[in-house]
Amino acid sequence: MGKIIKFIAKRLVYSVFVLVGLSILIFFIARVMPGNPARMALGARTPEWAIERLREEMHLDEPLYIQYYYWVKGALHGNFGTSLVTRRSVAEDIKVFFPASLELALYAGIFMGIIGITLGTISGWYSNTWVDNLVRIISYMGIITPSFVFAIFFVLIFGFVLQILPTMGRLSPGVVLPPSITGMVTFDALITGRFNVFFDALKHLLLPALSLAMGPLSQGARITRATFVDNAQKDYIANERSCGIPERTIMFKYLLKPSLIPTITVFGMDFAAIIGNAFLVELIFSWPGLSRYGMNAMLQKDLNAMIAVVIVLGLMFIIVNTIVDLIVGYLDPRIGLGAEMSGK
C-alpha cells in the first residue's frame, strides 16, 4: 500500500510541475498575439479611456511576468478571470460546460475499452480466419478516418437517411433537464430515477461518443490482437493446455490479462486523441461541452477562456494517465509502481 501512496505522491509533484510549465507555455502563447485584447473585447468604436481602464483591470499594461503572477494568484483561488467576449466569469462557465464534455469522454472511453478489447480478443482468438481479417480491415479503416469525418458520416446515415438517432445537443426538445447533481445528464437521470430522460440522453450521446471512440477503439483492437496472438504462442499456454485447463479459463485468465497491458498503456495516449478530437466533434453535434466552449473561445480570441480550457484539459489528461499507470502496475507485477514514471 505504501508503494501506491509513494507513487501517487511522486505523480502529484510531477503534475504540479507540468501544470505550472503548461500554464506558462499557454499564457505566453496567448499573450504574444498581435493586437490589443482589450480593444477586441470592447469593440472598435469604444472610447480610448474605456479601453485603458480594461487594460488596467486586466493588468495588460504591466510586464508579462507580473501579468502571469496575477493570473496564477487568481487561478489558485479558482478564478480564471472574466471572458473577454461574454464578460462572464470563466470559472463559472467551465463549471457549466465541463460535465458535458466529461460525460462524452467517459462514454467514448467506455466504448473504446469494451468494443476495442472485445474486437481485438475475437480477432486474436480466431486469428487468420475470415473473422480476424474482417476485424483487421475494420480497425484499419477506423484508424485512418479522421473523427470529424466519422461525425459527418454518422450524422448523415443515422440522422438523415435512417432518422433513428438525434444529432443535435444533449436532450430532445421538451425533455426537462434533471436536477444537476453531477452535471452529467445520464447520471443525474439515473440518480433521480427518471429513466425516460436517461434513455433520451443516452440516444443523444451515442453518435458523438462513437465518432470520438472509433479511432482509439480500432487502435486498441489492433494492439490487443497483436499481443494476444503473440502470447498465445508462448510455452506457458501450451503447458496449460496439456494440463487440461479449460480453454475458457486459459483465454480469460491467462491470455487476456497479460495481453491487455500494452492496450491499456496505449489507451492513456488515445485519451489525448479523444480530448483533442472532441474540439471538432462537439462542434458538429452542437454538444454544449467544454471543448465547444474552448473552440469558440479560440475562434473569438477569448484569451482568458482559452487558457483556462487548456489548463483544465491538461489536468484531466494527467489524471487519466496516472490512473492508466496504476492499472498497468496492477496488471503487470513486473512493471510495478516503483519503476520509472513513463509520463506518457
Partner 1 sequence: MEKKSLTQERLSRRWENIRRNWYKFSRNPLSITGLVIICIILFFAIFAPFLSPYPESAGKYINFYEASQPPNFAHLCGTDAFGRDILTRIFFGIRYSLMMAFTVLLLIVPVGVLLGVIAGYYRDRWLEIVIMRTTDIFIAIPPLILALAVCSVLTPSIYNAMFAISLAWWPWYTRLVYGVASSLSEEFFVQSAEVIGASKMHILLKEILLNCIAPILTKMSLDIGWIILIGSSLSFVGLGAQPPTADLGSMVADGSKYLPDQWWISVFPAFAIMFIVLSFNLFGDGIRDTLGVERG
Query: Residue numbers of the site for partner 1 (CB under 8 A)?
Result: 14, 17-19, 21-22, 25-26, 29-30, 32-33, 140-141, 143-146, 148-149, 152-153, 155-156, 160-161, 223, 226, 262, 272-273, 275-277, 279-280, 283-284, 294-295, 298-299, 301, 306, 310, 313-314, 317-318, 343-344
Pairwise CA distance, residues 104 & 101, whole Å:
5
Residue with Cβ nearer partner 1 (15 or 89): 15
Closest by Cα among 221, 6, 17 to 111: 221
Q: For residue 141, what is its C-alpha cell? A: 479503416
Residue with Cβ nearer partner 1 (185 or 310): 310
Shortest distance in whole angstroms from residue 275 CB to partner 1: 5
Residue with cell 443535435: 168
Residue with Cβ nearer partner 1 (189 or 306): 306
Shortest distance in whole angstroms from residue 25 CB to partner 1: 6
Residue with cell 513513463: 342
List beta partners, residue 89. 82
Shortest distance in whole angstroms from residue 40 CB to partner 1: 12
Residue with Cβ nearer partner 1 (100 or 303): 303
Residue with Cβ nearer partner 1 (178 or 268): 268
Longest dimension (CA), the chain: 86
The answer to whether 58 touches 37, Cβ cutoff 8 Å, is yes
Q: Is 326 exposed, middle or buried (CB count within 10 Å of its CB: 0-12, 13-18, 19+)?
A: middle
Shortest distance in whole angstroms from residue 327 CB to partner 1: 19
Tell me the one-letter amino acid at 160. Answer: F
Pairwise CA distance, residues 27 & 66, whole Å:
12
Kindly report the CA angle at 128 between 114 and 110, in degrees rounded to 5? 5
The answer to whether 260 touches 248, Cβ cutoff 8 Å, is no
Shortest distance in whole angstroms from residue 154 CB to partner 1: 11
Shortest distance in whole angstroms from residue 318 CB to partner 1: 6
Residue with Cβ nearer partner 1 (142 or 329): 142
Shortest distance in whole angstroms from residue 298 CB to partner 1: 4
Conformational region of residue 128, where left means phi above 0, alpha means psi within -120 to 50, and beta covers everything else: left
